[in-house]
Amino acid sequence: MMSQVMRTVSEGLGLWPVISLVLFFIVFVGMLIVVVRMKRSHIDHMGSLPLDNAEPGDTTHA
Amino acid sequence: MQGSVDTFHYDNRIVRHFAVASMVFGVVGMTVGLLVALQMFLPQLNLGTPYTTFGRIRPLHTNAVIFAFVGNAIFMGIYYSLPRLLKAPMWSRKLSQVHFWGWQSIIVAAAITLPLGLTTSKEYAELEWPIDIAIAVVWVIFGVNMFMTILKRRERHLYVAIWFYIATVVTVAVLHVVNSFEIPVNLFKSYSLYAGVQDALVQWWYGHNAVAFFLTTPYLGLMYYFLPKAAGRPVYSYRLSIIHFWALIFIYIWAGPHHLLYSALPDWAQSLGTVFSIMLIAPSWGGMLNGLLTLRGAWDKVREDPTLKFMVVAVTAYGMATLEGPLLSLKSVNAISHFTDWTIAHVHVGALGWNGFLTFGILYWLIPRMYGVKLYSTRLANAHFWIGTLGILFYVVPMYWAGLTEGLMWKQFTPEGFLQYPNFLETVLQVVPMYITRAIGGALFLVGVLIGAWNLIATARSGNFLAEEEAQAAPLEKKAKSSGGYYHRWIERRPVQFLALATIAVLIGGIVEMVPMFVIKSNVPSIANVKPYTPLEVEGRDIYIREGCVSCHSQLVRPFRSETERYGEYSKAGEYVYDHPFLWGSKRTGPDLHRVGGKYPDAWHYNHMLEPTSMSPGSLMPPFPWLIENELNVRHTPARIRALSKLGVPYPKGYDELAAEELRIQAGQIATSLSDQGIEVDADREIIALIAYLQRLGTDIQTASN
Which residues from B are below 8 Å from A51, CB to CB? 228-229, 232-234
Chain B closest CA to A50's CA: distance in Å?
6
Q: Where are the domains of chain B?
A: 6-476+483-513, 535-705
Contacts of B243 in chain A (CB under 8 A): 31-32, 35
Phi-psi region of B171 (alpha: psi -120 to 50; beta: other; left: phi over 0): alpha
Half-sphere exposure of B688 (CA within 13 A, CB side): 29
Percent of chain A with pLDDT over 70: 61
Residues of B in contact with A23 (CB under 8 A): 508
Helix (H) or strand (E) holding B166: helix B160-179
Terminal C-alpha separation, chain A: 68
DSSP string, B633-661: --TTHHHHHHHHHHTT--PPTTHHHHHHH
Q: Are B250 and A37 in contact (CB < 8 Å)?
A: no
Backbone conformation region of residue B240, classed left if phi is above 0, alpha if psi is from -120 to 50, else beta = alpha
SS (H, E, C) B297-330: CCHHHHHHCHHHHHHHHHHHHHHHHHHHHHHHCC
- Spatial CA neighbour of B660 closest among B629, B643, B637: B637
Judged by CB atoms closer than 8 Å, whether chains meet at B492 and A10 is answered as no
Give, in order, the Cα–Cα distances in Å from B606 to each of B44, B541, B592, B669: 19, 16, 18, 15
* Residue A59 reports pLDDT greater than 50: no
Question: CB distance from B456 to chain A under 8 Å?
Answer: no
For residue B86, the distance in angstroms to the closest alpha carbon of chain A comes to 9
From residue B273, alpha-carbon distances to B201, B204, B382, B515, B567 in Å are: 11, 11, 40, 15, 27
pLDDT at B361: 97
Phi, psi of B472 (to 5 degrees): -135, 145
**Looking at the partner chain, which of A10, A39, A47 has a beta carbon nearest the beta carbon of B519?**
A10
Q: CA of A9 to nearest chain B CA: how many angstroms apart?
A: 8
At A25, the pLDDT band (50, 70, 90 cuts) reads confident
- A46 contacts in B (CB within 8 Å)? 157, 159-160, 238, 492
The beta-carbon neighbor of A53 closest among B84, B250, B505 is B84
Could you confirm whether domain B6-476+483-513 is CATH 2.60.40.2470?
no
From the list B194, B177, B122, B191, the residue with the least C-alpha distance to B584 is B122
**Considering only CB atoms, which residues of chain A are within 8 Å of chain B?**
6, 9-10, 13, 16, 20, 23-24, 27-28, 30-32, 34-35, 37-39, 42-53, 55-61
Does A31 contact B489 at a Cβ distance shorter than 8 Å? no
Query: Cα distance from A45 to chain B (closest Cα, Å)?
Result: 9
Q: Does B374 touch chain A (CB under 8 A)?
A: yes
Q: How far away is chain B from the Cα of A36, in angstroms, using its nearest Cα?
A: 8
Q: How high is the pLDDT of residue B267?
A: 85
Mark yes or no for CB contact B234/A51 under 8 Å.
Answer: yes
Inter-chain touch A13–B371, beta carbons under 8 Å: no
d(CA B424, CA B422): 6
- Per CB-CB distance under 8 Å, the chain A contacts of B522 are none
Segment 153-182 of chain B within 8 Å of chain A by CB: 155, 157, 159-161
- Give the CATH fold of the B535-705 domain: Cytochrome Bc1 Complex; Chain D, domain 2 (1.10.760)
**A46·B157 Cβ contact <8 A:** yes
Nearest Cβ partner of A47 from B234, B250, B515?
A: B234
pLDDT beyond 50 at A57: no
Alpha helix (H) ranges present in B412-494? 424-430, 432-462, 487-493
pLDDT classification of A54: cutoffs 50, 70, 90 = low
Look at residues B365, B304, B474 and name the one whose alpha carbon lies nearest to residue A52. B474
Q: Which of B318, B317, B343 is nearest to B258 (CA)?
A: B343
Number of A:B CB contacts under 8 A? 108
Contact B484 A42 (CB under 8 A): yes
Give how far A5 is from chain B: nearest CA, Å: 10
Element spanning B690, H or E: helix B686-696
Q: Collect all residues with Cβ–Cβ distance below 8 Å to B638 and sequence separation of at least 6.
A: B656, B657, B659, B660
Please report the residues numbered 71 through 90 in chain B whose beta carbons come closer than 8 angstroms to any beta carbon of chain A. 81, 84-85, 87
Note the pLDDT of residue B702: 81
Closest chain B CA to residue A31: B243
Mean pLDDT for each 10-residue chunk of chain B (706 residues)?
81 97 98 98 95 97 97 98 96 97 98 97 96 97 96 91 95 93 94 93 93 95 96 94 92 89 86 91 95 91 94 97 96 95 97 98 97 96 98 97 97 96 95 97 98 98 95 80 56 78 82 77 81 97 97 96 96 94 96 96 97 94 96 96 95 94 96 96 96 96 65
B233 in contact with A, Cβ within 8 Å: yes
Q: Exposed, middle or buried, B356 (CB in 10 Å: 0-12/13-18/19+)? A: buried
Check CB contact under 8 Å for A45 and B157: yes
Cross-chain Cβ contact A27/B160 below 8 Å: no
**Cβ pair A32:B505 closer than 8 A:** no
Phi first, then psi: give them for residue B49, nearest 5 degrees.
Answer: -115, 150
- Selecting from A16, A38, A43 the residue whose C-beta is nearest the C-beta of B516 gives A16
Q: Rounded to an integer, what distance in angstroms lies between the CA atom of residue B28 and that of residue B166?
A: 29
Check CB contact under 8 Å for B235 and A23: no
DSSP character string of B16-60: HHHHHHHHHHHHHHHHHHHHHHHHTT-GGGGTTSGGGSHHHHHHH
pLDDT number for residue B488: 62
